Amino acid sequence: MEKMKPRILLVDDEEINLTLLAAKFERVGYEIEKATNGIEAVVKVKEFKPDIILMDVVMPQMDGYEALRVLKSREETSYIPVILVTGRSEVEDKVLGFEVGAEDYISKPYSLQEVVARVKSLLRMRALQTKLAETEKMAALGGMVDGIAHEVRNPLMAIGGMARRLKEHETDPQHKDYADRIISAVERLERMLRRVDEYKRMLVSTRASGDINNVLTVCAGDIKEFIDNQGKEIEVKVALMPEPPPINMDAGNMRVAIYNILQNSADAIEKKGVITIETLPAMDQSITLRITDTGCGIKEEDIRKIFNPFQTSKISGAGLGLTISYRIIRDHGGEIEVESRPGEGTVMTIRLHPAKIGSHLPHLGEPTA
Ligand SMILES: Nc1ncnc2c1ncn2[C@@H]1O[C@H](COP(=O)(O)OP(=O)(O)OP(=O)(O)O)[C@@H](O)[C@H]1O
Ligand SMILES: [Mg+2]
264 CA → ligand 2 middle, Å: 5
pLDDT tens digit sequence for 280-314: 987 778 899 999 999 999 999 999 899 998 899 99
Average pLDDT value for residue range 331-343: 94
Best mutation site among 312, 315, 350 for ligand 1 pocket (most ligand atoms within 8 Å of CB) = 312
Q: What is the pLDDT of residues 32-65, one digit of tens each?
A: 999 999 999 999 999 999 999 999 988 888 889 8
Cα separation of 211 and 27, whole Å?
A: 53
The CATH code for residues 7-110 is: 3.40.50.2300
The answer to whether the CB of 317 is under 6 A from ligand 1 is: yes
| 269 within ligand 1 shell (Cβ under 6 A) | no
Closest-lying ligand 1 atom to the alpha carbon of residue 348 = 1
Question: Is the pTM here over 0.85, yes or no?
Answer: no
3-class state of residue 236 by DSSP: strand
4-22: burial string, b at 16+ Cβ within 10 Å, e else: eebbbbbbbbeeebbeebb
Classified by CATH at the fold level, domain 206-369 comes out as: Heat Shock Protein 90 (3.30.565)
User: Which ligand has the shortest distance to the CA of 344?
Assistant: 1
Please report the pLDDT score of residue 355 as a whole number.
Answer: 55
Q: What pLDDT does 88 receive? A: 63
CA of 169 to the centre of ligand 1 (A): 34
36 CB within 6 A, ligand 1: no
If you measure from the C-alpha of residue 201 to the centroid of ligand 2, how many angstroms do you get, rounded to a whole number?
Answer: 17
228: left (phi over 0), alpha (psi -120 to 50) or beta: alpha
User: Which atom of ligand 1 sits closest to the CA of residue 191?
Assistant: 26
- Domain 7-110 and domain 206-369, same fold? Reply is no
Q: Among all ligands shown, which has an atom nearest to the Cα of 314?
A: 1
Residue 97 CB less than 6 A away from ligand 1: no
Lowest mean pLDDT among 179-183, 199-203, 323-327: 199-203
SS3 call for 221: helix
Q: Is 293 in the pocket of ligand 1 (CB under 6 A)?
A: yes
Q: Report yes or no: 57 and 86 within 8 Å, Cβ to Cβ.
A: yes
Instruction: Return the domain boundaries, the chain.
Output: 7-110, 134-203, 206-369
Q: What is the pLDDT of residue 322?
A: 95
Matching CATH number, 134-203, of 3.30.70, 3.40.50, 1.10.10, 1.10.287: 1.10.287
Are 272 and 264 within 8 A, CB to CB? Answer: no
pLDDT over 80 (residue 261): yes
Residue whose CA is at the smallest distance from ligand 1 atom 28: 312
pLDDT band at 91 (very low <50, low <70, confident <90, very high): low
Ligand 1 atom closest to residue 318's alpha carbon, by position in its atom list = 25
Helix (H) or strand (E) holding 285: none
For a mutational test of ligand 1's pocket, the pick from 322, 339, 346, i.e. the residue with the most ligand atoms closer than 8 A to its C-beta, is 322
125-153: pLDDT as tens digits: 988 888 888 778 777 777 788 888 888 99
pLDDT at 356: 46
Answer with the residue of higher pLDDT: 149 or 260. Answer: 260
In the sheet that holds 272-281, the strands lie side by side as: 233-239, 272-281, 287-293, 345-352, 335-341
**301 phi and psi angles, rounded to 5 deg:** -70, -15
Relative to the CA of 265, which ligand 1 atom is closest?
1
